[in-house]
């Protein structure tokens, strides 16, 4: 287990100052480390960068030794799409450009996040692939908010923590004038993508009764159809973000254990 030191930095993004939280081992190791861009959730309208402290990304950094960058991206409705995505891309570029300073292996930069952060992670992987500037080695979009249109599981959903009403409101605030139109780009709602080739390998999990089950499984299925390694685990219940809301439960411990196994094998080169 690694002891982490916490730093705050500020970078330029879209003409404004973007705060970042940086977590990295307090004692610099002799080898290069994985770099994790971890994006907080909150329905695109709430949340904070310091949620990374209790996230799977932060826990992976403590367990395996990794560098985490968590951006305090701009929130809707004050800043609708594409502000949050632009901020996340700026943070990803900062991580890549400062890999040597941070002791990060540029070939092991991964992107992840929960809920809306997972949706941003997926969209960011699409954007990074299309721009061709920053290679992303792996993606961890956990129970991601991917689809601005109703799916069978998000329609008429009364799950705990997130439901249809809150989902509609979140998308409406994030998309602004694009909401309800056929002009929503794939970078705003990753489920609008039609070409999944060349995207990073993926691991995710979700609960069977929450709104994002079907869009999560569809995303993984389309990645596989495009020849991309991808896996999803579905846990019982209807509590969204269960690993954060109830981290002490057996289900949450099981989910984290599987996340650590995948991270260790695919990113940290440290099989469990």
Q: What is the pLDDT of residues 182-205, one digit of tens each?
A: 999 999 999 999 999 999 999 999
Q: Residue holding tokens 């069978």? A: 152
Q: Tell me if 173 sits within 8 A of 253, measured CB to CB.
A: no
Q: What is the DSSP letter of 155?
A: T
User: Does residue 250 register a pLDDT over 90?
Assistant: yes
For residue 35, name the pLDDT band (cuts at 50, 70, 90): very high
User: Does residue 261 register a pLDDT over 70?
Assistant: yes
Residues of the domain holding 201: 4-268
Tell me, what's the pLDDT at 1? 84
Q: Tell me if 20 sits within 8 A of 49, measured CB to CB.
A: yes
What's the average model confidence in pLDDT over 38-59?
A: 96
What's the average model confidence in pLDDT over 105-128?
A: 98
User: Does residue 28 register a pLDDT over 80?
Assistant: no
Domain count, the chain: 1
- Angle (nearest 5°) at CA 82 between 186 and 141: 55
User: Does residue 230 register a pLDDT over 70?
Assistant: yes
The C-alpha atoms of residue 51 and residue 40 are separated, in whole angstroms, by: 6
User: Does residue 271 register a pLDDT over 70?
Assistant: no
Residue 67: both structure tokens together: 């560098």
Q: Where are the alpha helices (DSSP H) in the chain?
A: 56-60, 83-97, 99-102, 116-131, 164-175, 213-225, 242-245, 250-263
What's the average model confidence in pLDDT over 141-156?
A: 98
To the nearest whole percent, how much of the chain has pLDDT over 90?
95
Tell me, what's the pLDDT at 27? 82
Q: Which long-range contacts (CB under 8 A, 24 or more apart) does 74-79 make?
A: 74/16, 74/18, 75/42, 75/44, 75/45, 75/46, 75/47, 76/44, 76/45, 76/170, 76/173, 76/174, 76/176, 77/45, 77/173, 77/174, 77/176
Please state whether the peptide bond connecting residue 82 to the residue before it is cis, i.e. omega within 30 degrees of 0: yes
89-101 burial by CB neighbour count: b if 16+ within 10 A, else e? bbbbbbbbebbee
Q: What DSSP element (H or E) covers 141?
A: strand 138-142
Tell me, what's the pLDDT at 145? 98
**The pTM is what?**
0.97
For residue 270, name the pLDDT band (cuts at 50, 70, 90): confident
- Angle (nearest 5°) at CA 25 between 233 and 66: 30
What's the average model confidence in pLDDT over 125-138?
A: 98
The CATH number covering residue 167 comes to 3.40.50.1820
Q: Tell me if 43 sits within 8 A of 115, measured CB to CB.
A: yes
What's the average model confidence in pLDDT over 228-251?
A: 97
Tell me, what's the pLDDT at 248? 97
Average pLDDT, the chain: 96
């Amino acid at each position: 287990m690694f002891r982490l030191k916490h730093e705050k930095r500020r970078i330029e993004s879209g003409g404004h100052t973007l705060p970042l939280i940086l977590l990295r081992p307090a004692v610099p190791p002799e080898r290069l480390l994985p770099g994790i861009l971890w994006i907080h959730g909150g329905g695109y309208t709430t949340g904070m960068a310091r949620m990374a402290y209790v996230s799977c990304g932060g826990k992976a950094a403590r367990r395996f030794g990794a560098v985490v960058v968590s951006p305090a991206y701009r929130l809707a409705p004050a800043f609708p799409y594409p502000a949050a995505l632009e901020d996340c891309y700026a943070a990803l570029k900062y991580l890549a450009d400062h890999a040597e300073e941070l002791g990060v292996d540029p070939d092991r930069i991964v992107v992840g996040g929960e809920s809306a952060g997972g949706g941003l992670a997926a969209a960011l992987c699409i954007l990074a692939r299309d721009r061709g500037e920053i290679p992303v080695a792996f993606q961890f979009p956990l129970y991601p908010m991917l689809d601005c249109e109703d799916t069978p599981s998000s329609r008429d959903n009364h799950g705990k923590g997130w439901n249809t009403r809150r989902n509609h409101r979140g998308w409406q605030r994030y998309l602004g004038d694009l909401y309800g139109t056929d002009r929503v780009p794939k970078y705003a709602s990753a489920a609008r993508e039609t070409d999944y080739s060349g995207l990073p390998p993926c691991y995710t999990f979700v609960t069977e009764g929450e709104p994002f089950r079907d869009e999560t499984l569809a995303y993984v299925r389309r990645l596989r159809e495009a020849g991309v390694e991808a896996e999803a685990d579905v846990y019982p219940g209807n509590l969204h973000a269960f690993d954060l809301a109830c981290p002490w439960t057996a289900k949450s411990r099981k989910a984290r254990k599987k996340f650590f196994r995948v991270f260790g094998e695919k990113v940290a080169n440290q099989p469990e």
